[in-house]
Structure 1
Amino acid sequence: MGDDFTSAGPRLLGPADVRRLAAALDLRPTKQRGQNFVIDPNTVRRIVRASGVGSDDVVVEVGPGLGSLTLALLEEVRRVVAIEVDPVLARALPATVADRAPEHADRFEVVEADALRVDSVPGPPPTALVANLPYNVSVPVLLHLMALLPSLRHGLVMVQSEVADRLAAAPGSRTYGVPSVKAAWFAEVRRAGAIGRNVFWPAPNVDSGLVAWEHRDPPTTSVRREQVFAVVDAAFAQRRKTLRSTLKATAGSAQAAEAALVRAGVDPQARGEMLRVEDFARIAEELQREAAR
């Protein structure tokens, strides 16, 4: 490939480095943007290792902040595209990379944008998503990028611990819900570890978890993903009610919902938490057929 991966590597950010960079930018981390910066080099090394990325990967990183994870990624992968919504941070990041990883600076590009609103990523198609996601928008960002970038094959994200549980939950578990089903449309998802609060500045009020995922083909279906996801949303809107009840508005009546469920091979008295994403795809197909009658 021609890239040199034998250098001493970037100088990663420690607690004093993070605070010095923040002070130079007159930065006050905001809860609104979910800004909690990793100050422990061992943690970012662990994230990169657990992500499974390698020298051929083109990585998308969301919310790079001051560059803690960015620097660790640049040592291991072909290219990093970082999406940062904060203009102060976005404009400072190239200088940090040039200073602390000069031999890898040509592998890096920053996009100043809201990750929920990007409609493309510059450069070659990305193969991995590795990020310390802003906790207040972690699930929408993850799902948006999985839908936007079909070239993504694998990844690892750090999110709030209970969100990690939801994303990786299996049907029938207490934490299984909308995020679990929608993530399963795109990927096989699993918990990949826990992260303590003391590796962040400022320390968050919640524990963090790592979620790893591998791309999988979506269910084979004649309806669009948006139609399936609308059924998922309806099924979990009233979690304790049966599917016959939760889908009656979508189907037009409880009777029509029951007919569609039966044809899909699903018990009308079941609840959404018992179904796999493939079940929801069949239900969406049958609801469409019911509407066409």
Structure 2
Amino acid sequence: MTDGLLGPADVRRLAAELGLRPTKTLGQNFVHDPNTVRRIVKAAELTEHDVVLEVGPGLGSLTLALLPACAQVIAVEIDPLLAERLPRTVAERAPETADRLRVITADALRIDTLENPAPTALVANLPYNIAVPVVLHLLARQPSLRTVLVMVQAEVADRLAAGPGSRTYGVPSVKASWYGKVRRAGSVPRAVFWPVPNVDSGLVAITRQPSPQVEVPVKEVFAVVDAAFAQRRKTLRAALSGWAGSAPRAERILVAAGVDPTARGEQLTTEAFAEIAVQARKDHA
């Protein structure tokens, strides 16, 4: 039973109808396995009241699985051809859910806060080349999002979910954890995509939690994070010298924040980076 979901033959037929040749530029790898999209929807733990934001719906494989599980799907698609075809695909395969779909033809990195209704969950198969910027942008711009479940390149999934001290802990890990609790939510085999990508995929779940309460804008905290990881092998005293204006000032700020100047960025928690930004503001005052 496919429940109107798209199988391999359906995906290829739709692509042929549209004259579509998946492009690496847009990171287009379409899911053609009904069991995979069912699994993603189940992992998202949606309720009938959720408004789902889906980025890059493509031919509609995941969209068709999401619609019966929530109140509405807001699908953001950059490709006008795909955006135009999606409502028709839903009307043909799941007409009873067609009124729950809203399609926005736009670049997800350029959309501002969505309202009436505001999305409560981000569920998407994200183009690999923009996965991290999209997740961070939407968490920043959509305070209504309480949960995130995205399929990304396995390596990116590892980086997003990594904790302090891990070899893969870095800028994406710290920034994602600013918005909530991040965890790996499973792996996805290459064979469920068309065309088959040359990398493995993974699921990442984020549960929104209050960000650290600090008296500085988040952009100042993130500036510290960017500087700390720009030269991973350097101590924080050295890595932050350019950001602080000098190594002695960087050391002074670090000491005031309770951070060892000889430590490295991968050892620090999100809260520690926030405290460095706070002490830098005080030091400047």
Task: Please report the TM-score for the alignment, with normalisation by the length of structure 1.
Answer: 0.96
CA distance in 1, matches of 2:225, 2:13: 46
* Counterpart for residue 225 of structure 1: 218
Is 1:101–2:88 an aligned residue pair?
no
Aligned residue runs from structure 1 range 24-35, under 5 A? 24-35=17-28
CA RMSD of aligned residues (A): 1.1
Once residues 47 and 23 of structure 2 are traced to their aligned partners in structure 1, the CA distance between those partners, rounded to angstroms, is 33
Q: Which amino acid aligns with 2:27?
A: G
The partner residue of 1:134 within 115, 127, 131 is 127
Mind listing any 5+ residue stretches in structure 2 that lack a counterpart?
none
| Aligned twin of 1:157 | 150
Amino acid at match of 1:50: A
Percent identity for Structure 1 against Structure 2: 66
Alignment of 1:60-209 (within 5 A): 60-121=53-114, 123-209=116-202
Quote the Cα distance in structure 2 between the aligned partners of 1:39 and 1:117: 28
Aligned mate of 1:248, from 241, 246, 266 = 241
1:20 equivalent in structure 2:
13
Match of 1:47 among 27, 40, 48: 40
Residues 139 and 113 of structure 1: CA distance in aligned 2, closer, same or farther (over 3 Å): same
Q: Structure 1 residues 9 and 122, CA, compared in 2 at 3 Å: closer, same or farther?
A: farther
Instruction: Give per-residue Cα distances to partners, 1:129-166, cap 9 Å, x unaligned.
Output: 00000000000000000000001001200000000000
- The offset of 1:121, in angstroms, is 2.5
Deviation per residue, 1:220-248 (Å, 9 max, x gap)? 10000000001000000000001111111
With structure 2 as the length reference, what TM-score do the two structures score?
A: 0.98
Give distance in 2, aligned partners of 1:122 and 1:41: 31
Any idea what SS the aligned residue of 1:266 has? coil
Counterpart CA distance in 1 for 2:240 and 2:40 is 40
CA distance in 1, matches of 2:2, 2:96: 8
Report the CA distance between 1:122 and its aligned residue.
5.0
Q: Which runs of 4+ in 1 moved over 6 A?
A: none
Q: What residue in structure 1 maps to residue 252 of structure 2?
A: 259
Asked if 2 retains the 8 angstrom alpha-carbon contact of 1:251 and 1:290, the reply is no
How many equivalent residue pairs? 285
> Where does residue 261 of structure 2 map in the other structure?
268
Q: 2:228, 2:265 within 8 Å by CA — same for their partners in 1?
A: yes
Quote how far apart the aligned CAs of 1:270 are: 0.4
Structure 1: gaps spanning 5 or more residues: 1-7
Match for residue 282 of structure 2 among 269, 285, 289 = 289
- For 1:3, the equivalent position in structure 2 comes to none
Whole-angstrom distance in 1 between the partners of 2:252 and 2:40: 47
Deviation digits for residues 14-42 of structure 1 (CA, Å, limit 9, x no counterpart): 00000111111010000000000000000
What SS is found at the alignment partner of 1:59?
strand
Cα deviation for residue 10 of structure 1 reads 4.7
| Structure 1: distance between partners of 2:46 and 2:262 | 44
Q: Structure 1 CA distance, aligned partners of 2:257 and 2:178?
A: 18
Contact 1:9/1:101, CA 8 A, preserved across alignment: no
Instruction: Describe the SS at the equivalent of 1:116.
Output: helix
One-letter code aligned to 1:126: P
